Amino acid sequence: MTQTEDRLRAALAARADQLTYSMLRRGEVPQGRTWGVRRVRGIAYAVVGAAAVVAVCLLVLLPHSPVNPTPVPPAQPPRVVDTPRPTTTPALPESAPAVSREP
């Protein structure tokens, strides 16, 4: 063994000799507030987590949701549509004022 190990063993043995039974027994139960910050924070996290789970379930299960959209019909091949062209120009109504375009 090395000198460091010998010193460490001696220090640990000396410390062990200082401990007594009264030091090892349980202490008194603390008497304080019943609701601590940790407990309130834990309940708040649980409520927020439950709300998030409910929101995700509603998004997934409801019809027409963004996660489950309604299927789109398949695309059709393009086709040419003839639109009839007017043969005459539309006449202006009689009550419309004449607009002069002089520079």
Residue 45 maps to a domain: yes
Does the residue 18 lie in any domain? no
> What is the count of structural domains for the chain?
1
User: To 5 degrees, how large is the angle CA 15–CA 19–CA 23?
Assistant: 140
- For residue 47, the enclosing domain spans 37-69
Residue 42 lies in a domain: yes
Residue 55: inside a domain, yes or no? Answer: yes
pLDDT(87) > 80: no
Per residue in 27-70, pLDDT tens?
A: 777 777 667 778 888 999 999 999 999 988 888 777 666 666 67
- Is residue 48 a part of any domain in this protein? yes
In a domain, 15, yes or no: no
Whether residue 61 lies inside any domain: the answer is yes
Residue at 43 is within a domain: yes
